[in-house]
């Protein structure tokens, strides 16, 4: 064993130390270079990007909803407006116990108990600092009631907002329509960015069809927020934050409709307590003067928020107030189509102005014992075409229907606008139905059901069987009769108005193809017969038209609701009201210079001339200035 320890190698240790220092220096320089490089990238290369992101974290863009356009009638009277109102709002993060708070609000009658689960879900689905609207419009009594109780409800407050209001309520419910709260389906259909901050949208009528122009363009404002996304109060902001940008929203266009609210009021009065519809058109341009469906409902209930129980009550009402009978109701047109079929028969030679038939109260097809009855059991005696229209003789039209044929009926009735939508500027319009052989082949699966039978042509000639029309279609067809075949597309909007400049854009009338009956002599005779329906001693509606201060023309109609046996009769006073015949009437006036065409249907009204005709007369009187009653 050696007595001496090895001597340290200072040279090797020095080299090792220097190597480590150099390595550490290199690593330090590299790391410093990475840091400097990153700083250069952040401060120089990507400065603009991160500055914008920083600004985005500090400032939140909030949408400012536009003011919805107003709706006026033809004389500038407001049909739909925006009124200031107080909404009841809840901010979830400021409410200690949401369930308890909602329950106590329900006890005060400020919300419905059935709404509590929905509001609970809304409070948990979004940011807890964003308010939830509990009620869209409170009455003065409700505002006062809540104001007294306000200290008991932290996080719940009243906020001023604009709410849609319909001054005439039920009078315009089906024509103007209503707005309602945005639904999930609405959000899928609409542009989410354009509806930021908007709570309502048009649901029916003009409000829905013209949503794009009524809504307007959304604006924005910059709101300074903290790291949690909450708005920073103005008094605590830095000077740099005080100059937040904003862009004002552009309000929606105002609409001027062709509707006359006075005519709507008369229509409502005439149909009071009944189910039915009245539509009036200016035959010279297709403007809708009146469109009323009864019974109606208050559209303000939808605009201000309706509870599920209230909505269910409306839906389940057997009077169907939500159903727009004027454009969606499809009814057998009855004898109102006889003037149109008379023109078709003259045009194709199925009859002439001298042909006479003997009406004995019924008609049978050759080789058949089945009797197609006239509405007058004893018959009308010897009649020509003029008499058949004037007295509404069914037997005459039974006879000529065989020569007209169902396909010719289809061809000419469609020219008058039956069997197809009119194209009115509303949604939900029904097609109606004008049958033909081809239609029946496509409508039924069984071969035996696809055969068109002669008896079906017979009943189609008096507007029964498969034939269906809407009140709007009948009004449009009546306008076509008044204009001797000239047709215009029915429309409600007469003008759009820019609310900022006041500039109006008028909607020109849209011509449709004329009815292909060019012989004025045919028109003269058929229209003269319609005149005599109301203003001759033998007309079916003479009680309504005789002694009028102006000449008019019309045609009554009755549509059976159910079929009765061959020899069976029934007493209308003894059967259920819903099984009575529908009453229809079409008319236009003045006779020589038509300015209004009207179609009336009264469900289960029994008599077209007795029930529906006086209603049409009242509408024409009002429009032509002969109504002395106060509206």
Dihedral angle sign, alpha carbons of residues 602, 604, 605, 607: positive
Q: Is the pTM of this model over 0.75?
A: yes
Q: How far apart are CA 214 and CA 209, in angstroms?
A: 10
The CATH superfamily assigned to 261-624 is: DD-peptidase/beta-lactamase superfamily (3.40.710.10)
DSSP letters, 587-612, are EEESSSS--EEEEEEETT---IIIII
Q: Which residues are catalytic?
A: 335
> How much is the pLDDT for 239?
45
Please report the pLDDT score of residue 197 as a whole number: 76
Across 464-612, the runs of DSSP E, i.e. the strands, are 487-488, 493-497, 504-506, 511-512, 553-559, 582-589, 596-602
Confidence check: pLDDT of 121 > 90:
no
pLDDT, tens digit, 9 for 90 and up, residues 544-600: 998 899 999 999 999 887 555 545 555 556 566 677 889 999 999 999 999 999 999
Q: How far apart are CA 25 and CA 399, in angstroms?
A: 116
Res 8: pLDDT: 64
User: Given a cut of 60, is residue 53 above it in pLDDT?
Assistant: no
pLDDT tens digits along 360-402: 999 999 989 899 999 899 999 999 999 999 999 999 999 999 9
pLDDT of residue 256: 98
At residue 200, the 3 state secondary structure works out as strand
**pLDDT tens-digit series, residues 435-473:** 999 999 999 999 999 999 999 999 999 999 999 999 999
Enumerate the domain spans of the chain. 261-624
- Angle formed by the axes of helices 613-624 and 261-270, to 10°? 160
**pLDDT above 90: percentage of residues in the chain:** 59
What is the C-alpha to C-alpha distance for residues 6 and 13, in angstroms, rounded to an integer?
14
Distance of CA 342 to the CA centre of its chain: 35
CA atoms of 516 and 434, how far apart (whole Å): 18
């Amino acid at each position: 064993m050696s007595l001496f320890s090895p001597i340290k190698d200072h040279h090797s240790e020095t080299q090792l130390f220097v190597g480590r220092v150099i390595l550490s220096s290199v690593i330090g320089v590299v790391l410093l270079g990475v840091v400097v490089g990153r700083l250069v990238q952040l401060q120089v290369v990507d400065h603009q990007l991160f500055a914008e992101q920083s600004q985005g974290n500090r400032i939140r863009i909030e949408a400012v909803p536009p003011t919805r356009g107003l709706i006026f009638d033809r004389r500038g009277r407001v049909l739909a407006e925006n009124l200031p109102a107080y909404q009841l709002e809840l901010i979830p993060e400021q409410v200690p116990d949401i369930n308890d708070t909602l329950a106590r609000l329900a006890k005060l009658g400020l919300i419905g108990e059935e709404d509590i689960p929905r509001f609970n879900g809304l409070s948990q689905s979004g940011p807890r600092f964003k308010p939830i609207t509990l009620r869209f419009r409170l009455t003065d009594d409700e505002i006062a009631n809540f104001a007294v109780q306000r200290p008991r409800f932290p996080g719940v407050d009243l906020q001023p907002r604009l709410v849609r209001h319909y001054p005439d309520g039920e009078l315009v419910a089906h024509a103007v329509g209503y707005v309602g709260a945005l639904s999930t389906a609405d959000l899928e259909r609409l542009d989410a960015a354009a509806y930021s901050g908007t709570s309502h949208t048009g649901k029916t009528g003009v409000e829905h069809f013209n949503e794009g122009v009524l809504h307007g363009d959304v604006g924005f404002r910059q709101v300074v927020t903290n790291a949690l996304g909450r708005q920073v109060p103005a008094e605590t902001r830095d000077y740099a934050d005080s100059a937040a940008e904003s862009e004002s929203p552009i309000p929606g266009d105002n609409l001027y409709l062709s509707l006359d609210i006075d005519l709507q009021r008369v229509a409502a009065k005439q149909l009071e307590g009944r189910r039915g519809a009245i539509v009036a058109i200016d035959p010279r341009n297709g403007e809708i003067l009146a469109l009323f469906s009864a019974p109606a409902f208050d559209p303000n209930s939808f605009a201000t928020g309706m509870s599920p129980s209230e909505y269910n009550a409306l839906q389940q009402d057997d009077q169907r107030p939500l159903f727009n009978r004027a454009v969606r109701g499809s009814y057998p047109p009855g004898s109102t189509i006889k003037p149109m079929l008379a023109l078709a028969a003259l045009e194709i030679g199925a009859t002439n102005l001298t042909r006479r038939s003997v009406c004995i109260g019924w008609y049978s097809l050759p080789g058949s014992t089945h009797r197609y009855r006239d509405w007058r059991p004893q018959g009308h005696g010897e009649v020509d075409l003029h008499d058949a229209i004037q007295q509404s003789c069914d037997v005459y039209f039974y006879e000529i229907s065989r020569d007209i044929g169902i396909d010719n009926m289809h061809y000419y009735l469609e020219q008058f606008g039956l069997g197809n939508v009119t194209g009115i500027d509303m949604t939900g319009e029904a097609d109606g139905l004008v049958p033909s052989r081809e239609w029946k082949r496509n409508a039924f699966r069984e071969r035996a059901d696809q055969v068109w039978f002669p008896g079906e042509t017979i009943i189609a000639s008096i507007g029964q069987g498969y034939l269906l029309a809407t009140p709007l279609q009948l009004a449009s067809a009546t306008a076509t009769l008044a204009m001797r075949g000239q047709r215009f597309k029915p429309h409600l909007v007469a003008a759009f108005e820019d609310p900022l400049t006041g500039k109006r854009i008028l909607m020109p009338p849209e011509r449709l193809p004329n009815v292909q009956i060019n012989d004025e002599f045919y028109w003269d005779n058929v229209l003269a017969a319609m005149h005599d329906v109301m203003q001759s001693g033998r007309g079916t509606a003479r009680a309504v038209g005789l002694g009028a201060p102006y000449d008019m023309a019309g045609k009554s109609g009755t549509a059976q609701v159910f079929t009765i046996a061959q020899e069976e009769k029934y007493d209308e006073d003894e059967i259920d009201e819903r099984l009575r015949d529908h009453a229809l009437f079409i008319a236009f006036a003045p006779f020589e210079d038509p300015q209004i065409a009207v179609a009336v249907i009264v469900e289960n009204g029994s008599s077209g001339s007795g029930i529906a005709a006086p209603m049409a007369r009242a509408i024409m009187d009002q429009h032509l200035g002969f109504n002395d009653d106060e509206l």
